[in-house]
Structure 1
Amino acid sequence: MSFIISFIDYDFFSKNNYEYIFYILKFFNPIHFDLLHFKNELVLPNNNEGTYTSISLNGIIFLLTLLIGTIIYHLSNQKKSRLLHFTLLFFFVSKSVSLIFSLFNITHFIKNQPGLTFYYTTTNIFWIFFAYKAINHLNSLKTLITVSINKNEIKERVSAREIINQSLSKENTRQIPYEKATIGDRFLNYILDTFFVILIFSPNIFGLARSTEYRESIYNLGNEIGESTVLILFLAISRLIYYIISEGIFHLSPAKALTETQIHSTTESKLSFATVIGRSFSRLIPFEPFSFFSKTGWHDDLSNTTVLKNKKTGNSQIYSILFILLFVLISVIYGLNKYKF
C-alpha cells in the first residue's frame, strides 16, 4: 500500500476537494526520510499536463528493504529476521526522533494547523507503537550463544581491577555463560550506528536550524563557540538520544540488529533503562570509541554491561550490510547528481 500511495497525484485530490482522502491514504505511507541536507526526490509527470508527483527516493529504498526483509522472514518460517529486525528498529528510532523534534515547533503547528498537527502526531504515535510491538516479537525469537564455563579458570582469571570494581559496585559482577561479541562486531556496530545517527538526525537538525524560532539562536551559538564545535555538540547529543531510545527500550541498536548482537548486564540484576542511560553518557568520554579494542570498552566497564552474540539467522551479515549500503550509495549518487554538489 505504501508503494502505491507514494505515486498518488495530490493535485487530483486537491482540485476535486478530496484532500481528506489523500490524508487518510497517507496514514498508510509513514515513510519520509531525507538524506543529510537534501531531499532525494524522483519527479514523475502526471496524466494532467504540466503537473508532477515528487516521490522520496529514500522512502522507496526503505520500503523496498522492508518488503524484502518481510518476504525473507515469511518464506523462512520466521527464522531469517535480520533484515526485517533492522528496518523495523531503524523505523522506530527515526519516527521517535521525528516526534521529539516536532515538539520544538508544536505551538507554531497547533496555532496554524491544529487539525493536521493532531492527525500527524497521533499517526506517528500509532506507527511507533506498531513498530514497538513488532520489534518485541522479533526480540523474543532471539537466543544467545551459550558457552561452557570452567569455575577454576574463573578464579585464576580474576584481576585486581575486577576486585576493585566489585568492591566499589553495589552488586557483584558475574561470569556470563554466553559468547561475547568480537572486536570486529563491535567496530562494525560503531561505524554503522554512527552512519545511522547522521542519516536519522541530520534532516531534523537542519530543519531546526532553518526554523524561524531557533535559527538565530543556533547562528549566535556558532559564532560564539565555532560552527565545527556546534556540529560536534549536535552529533554527541544525537548519539546520546539514539542509543537511549534503541538500547534503552530494546537492548540493541539498528547496527546490532544487523550483526545480531545485544547488550547485557554483567551483574545479577536485569539491564535497566537507567543503566543504559549511564552507558550512553559514557560514550561521550573523549577517545572512548578506541577503548573497545581492549577486552571491554569503557562504556561497558562503567555501566557493568557487555555485548553478547545471538545465534545467527539467515545469510551472512555481510550480505545484509552490503545490500543496505548499495541502496544508500544509489541514493547518494542520485542526490549529488541532482544538486550538482
Structure 2
Amino acid sequence: MRKYLQIVDRNKASLGTRFVNNLVDLIVLAIIHIILAIVSQLIYILTYNNFFFFFNNGGFIWDIFIGAVVAFIYFYLWEYYSDGKTPGKYITGTKVISIDGKRPTQRQYVSRSLYRIIPFEAFTFFGTDGWHDSMTDTRVINYKNYETERQTKNEIDNIGIKETA
C-alpha cells in the first residue's frame, strides 16, 4: 500500500485541464494514424503485400484493435520516457505522479495505458478520478503549483536548522 500524500490531492489538475490534455493527445494520435495509413498504403502499392495494408484490410474491428495498440504504445512511451508528460500535458503544465509523490513505476505506466484503451473509460471521470488514475494509484497534477507547495513545505520544515557552507 502506497502512502497517500494530501499535497498530491490538493494539486490535482482540473477536469477542464484534463479535457484539454485529452483533446491535444487525441489530435496527435489522429495525426499518427493518418501517417501510419499513408505509409501502409505506400508500402502496399510498392510491394502488393496485404500485410502492410492493415488499416483497410480487416474492417472495423481490426481498425479498433490497431487504434488501441497505437494508443497504448503512444501513451506508454510518452509518459514513461518524458517523466509523466504527453504533448497535452506539456501544453497545460501537468504531469503524472504517484499518490506518494514519487515518479510512477513502469508497471503503473503500463497499467495506465492499458486502462485508457477500455471503451468508454473517459466517462469514468464523471466520478472523482478516472480508472486509469484510481486503479493505478497515480494522479495528474499541476506541476508548478505542486513544486511550489512542496518547496514551501520543505523551507518551513527547515526553519531553525543551521545551514553549513
Relative to the length of structure 2, the TM-score reads 0.73
SS of 1:303's equivalent?
coil
CA contact (8 A) 1:172 1:268 kept: no
Supply the AA of the counterpart residue of 2:79: E
SS of 1:275's equivalent?
helix
Quote the residue 1:177 is aligned against: 7
Supply the AA of the counterpart residue of 1:196: V
**1:171-320 equivalences in 2 (<5 Å):** 171-178=1-8, 179-212=11-44, 215-217=49-51, 226-250=58-82, 251-267=84-100, 270-311=103-144
CA contact (8 A) 1:194 1:239 kept: no
How far does the alpha carbon of each residue in 1:28-57 deviate from its partner, in whole angstroms, 9 at most, with x for none? xxxxxxxxxxxxxxxxxxxxxxxxxxxxxx
1-structure distance, mates of 2:54, 2:115 = 29
**1:1-341 equivalences in 2 (<5 Å):** 171-178=1-8, 179-212=11-44, 215-217=49-51, 226-250=58-82, 251-267=84-100, 270-311=103-144
User: Residue 242 of structure 1: CA displacement?
Assistant: 1.0
How far does the alpha carbon of each residue in 1:95-121 deviate from its partner, in whole angstroms, 9 at most, with x for none? xxxxxxxxxxxxxxxxxxxxxxxxxxx
CA contact (8 A) 2:93 2:143 kept: yes
CA contact (8 A) 1:244 1:277 kept: yes
1-structure distance, mates of 2:65, 2:89 = 24
User: Residue 217 of structure 1: CA displacement?
Assistant: 2.9
Cα distance change of structure 1 residues 294 and 243 upon mapping to structure 2, 3 Å threshold: same
Spell out structure 1 runs of 4+ moving beyond 6 A: none
Relative to the length of structure 1, the TM-score reads 0.37
Which stretches in structure 1 are left out of the alignment for 5+ residues?
Answer: 1-170, 313-341
CA contact (8 A) 1:186 1:292 kept: no
CA contact (8 A) 2:55 2:63 kept: no
Quote the residue 1:126 is aligned against: none
Instruction: Supply the RMSD in Å over aligned alpha carbons.
Output: 2.5
Cα distance change of structure 1 residues 220 and 273 upon mapping to structure 2, 3 Å threshold: closer
SS of 1:295's equivalent?
coil
Bigger Rg over Cα = 1
Which stretches in structure 2 are left out of the alignment for 5+ residues?
Answer: 146-165
CA contact (8 A) 1:263 1:307 kept: yes
User: Residue 287 of structure 1: CA displacement?
Assistant: 1.0
- What number of residue pairs does the alignment pair up? 140
CA contact (8 A) 1:174 1:266 kept: yes
Identity of aligned pairs, percent? 27
How far does the alpha carbon of each residue in 1:158-197 deviate from its partner, in whole angstroms, 9 at most, with x for none? xxxxxxxxxxxxx234024141000111111111101111
